């Protein structure tokens, strides 16, 4: 979605922010390096028989960044853009994210280089089951717990549960989260990441002294996170004036009917916004530069870069996607006085409710959606307030404050455990 912009390396962005937090905390650099590098990197080449009888080999990864706070946790993405540095960065972000919302997980991430949109259901099932077999010694309810990510969903998680359970000879519901409800999934999980974005937006607007009914918002990305974020932010009274997906951007100065847009996508053969009626069509790049109060980048990494950061007009950015802002763009946004709620805080609602799902699986006792949402909202609000206060305490932006809080927690645990 970033058009002709150069491809940035998310691992480099993560490391630059990590280094800045290390300096503020005064951590020993050798000790910090233990926190920086992943504990485990597993790569596999997975052969799959395609529907036409040909055998295709898929490049697959699972990176366990840390298990110092508990079992490692992180999604599995299916995308042609998957590469090792990206997976390493995403795994590290999961470590910091879990520390920020105070749940007993470390961070991990998985990925397979494929285009799920061109694959049949049978091909995706064979690939997912083969990936599970390849990672059978990595995955486990007490070791490493996958979840959906870009290009994957409840069905892929169901296949993983089934294949892993066959390997272990018993049902292992807690080996993944983001499952269908009938297989031990949690109520509220599908909406959890978008709900966390809404809570972060609401909290930030309150700190800024802005009433939701007096602000406008643009949301880039209309997948699970973007669409639900837009719906819940609109329910706060905020006017959503622009949305976008792979088909482009859609602008309406009078406000977009988000519920209608969601219904349009659900009924579209392409599952996109293509053809959605609006005041005017815009590009994804134009959406980022709209004169709105709130901008929610909820698409992919590296959308706000040095090439366009100077043109951002929003007063508040709430990062629904992982890594939508490059490290080089951070200072530009700071200089412009834009408040940025970073990804490792704003989109942590998903992993929070994933933790709730894991707890429910282990207890064999399931909560109401109201209880899940209430607990998730409380966890997100507490995390936001902690990061906001730390930002003031250290005199840094919220992104650096989030890294400081996360590193301080993980480093304290590591020192107490005396692992080396």
Dist CA 346 CA 383 (whole Å):
9
Band of pLDDT at residue 419, cut at 50, 70 and 90? low
The predicted model gives 123-136 an average pLDDT of: 98
Going along the chain from its start, the domains and CATH numbers come out as 38-183 (3.40.50.10860), 192-346 (3.40.50.720)
Buried-state track 402-419, b at ≥16 Cβ within 10 A, e below 16: bbbbbbbbbbebbeeeee
pLDDT reported for residue 270? 86
Q: Please state the pTM of the whole predicted model.
A: 0.94
- Contact predicate 73/176, CB 8 Å: no
User: Is residue 79 over pLDDT 90?
Assistant: yes
How many CB atoms lie under 10 A from the CB of residue 118? 8
Tell me the pairing of strands 216-220 and 294-297: parallel
**Mean pLDDT over all residues of the chain?**
96
Instruction: Tell me the mean pLDDT in the region 16-43.
Output: 96
pLDDT tens for each residue of 246-262: 999 999 999 999 999 99
Q: Are 216 and 238 in contact (CB under 8 A)?
A: yes
Confidence of residue 381 (pLDDT cuts 50, 70, 90): very high
The pLDDT, as a whole number, for residue 22 is: 97
**Overall average pLDDT of the 343-366 stretch:** 97
Is a pLDDT exceeding 80 seen at residue 420? no
What's the pLDDT score for residue 7?
Answer: 66
pLDDT tops 90 at residue 408: yes
Listed in order, strand segments (DSSP E) in 93-215 are 106-113, 144-148
pLDDT tens per residue, range 170-209:
999 999 999 999 999 999 999 999 999 999 999 999 999 9
Q: In the prediction, which pLDDT does 5 show?
A: 45
pLDDT of amino acid 3: 44
Question: Rounded to an integer, what distance in angstroms lies between the CA atom of residue 358 and that of residue 189?
Answer: 11
Residue of 109, 231, 315, 409 marked catalytic: 109
* 214 DSSP assignment: G
Asked if pLDDT for residue 4 goes beyond 50, the answer is no
Residue 211: active-site member: no
């Amino acid at each position: 979605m970033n058009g002709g912009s150069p491809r940035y390396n998310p691992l480099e962005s993560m490391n630059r922010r990590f280094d800045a937090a290390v300096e503020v905390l005064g951590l020993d650099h050798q000790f910090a390096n233990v926190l920086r590098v992943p504990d485990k990197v597993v790569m596999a080449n997975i052969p799959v028989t395609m529907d036409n009888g040909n055998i295709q080999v898929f490049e697959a990864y699972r990176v366990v960044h840390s298990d110092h706070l508990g079992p490692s946790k992180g999604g599995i993405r299916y995308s042609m853009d998957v590469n090792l540095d990206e997976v390493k960065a995403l795994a590290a972000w999961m470590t910091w994210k879990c520390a920020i919302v105070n749940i007993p997980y470390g961070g991990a991430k998985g990925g397979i280089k494929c285009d799920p949109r061109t694959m049949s259901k049978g091909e995706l099932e064979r690939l997912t089951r083969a990936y599970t077999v390849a990672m059978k010694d990595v995955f486990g309810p007490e070791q490493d717990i996958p979840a959906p990510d870009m290009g994957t969903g409840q069905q892929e998680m169901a296949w993983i549960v089934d294949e892993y359970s066959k390997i272990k000879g018993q049902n292992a519901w807690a080996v993944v989260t983001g499952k269908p409800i009938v297989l031990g999934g949690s109520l509220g999980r599908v909406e959890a990441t978008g709900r966390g974005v809404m809570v972060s937006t609401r909290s930030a607007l309150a700190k800024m002294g802005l009433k939701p009914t007096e602000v406008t918002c643009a949301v880039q990305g209309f997948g699970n996170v973007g669409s639900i974020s837009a719906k819940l932010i609109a329910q706060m009274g905020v006017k959503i004036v622009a949305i976008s997906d792979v088909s482009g951007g859609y602008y309406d100065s009078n406000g977009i009917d988000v519920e209608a847009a969601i219904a349009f996508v659900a009924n579209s053969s392409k599952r996109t916004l293509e053809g959605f009626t609006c005041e005017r069509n815009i590009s994804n790049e134009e959406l980022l530069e709209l004169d709105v109060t709130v901008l929610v980048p909820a698409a992919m990494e590296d959308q706000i870069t040095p090439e366009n950061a100077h043109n951002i007009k929003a007063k508040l950015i709430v990062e629904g996607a992982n890594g939508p802002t490059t490290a080089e763009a951070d200072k530009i946004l700071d200089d412009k006085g834009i408040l940025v709620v970073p990804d490792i805080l704003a989109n942590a609602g998903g992993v929070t409710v994933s933790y709730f799902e894991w707890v429910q699986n282990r207890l064999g006792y399931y909560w109401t959606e109201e209880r899940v949402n209430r607990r998730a909202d409380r966890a997100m609000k507490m995390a936001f307030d902690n990061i906001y206060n730390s930002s003031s305490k250290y005199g840094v932006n919220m992104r650096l404050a989030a890294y400081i809080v996360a590193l301080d927690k993980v480093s304290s645990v590591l020192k107490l455990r005396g692992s080396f």
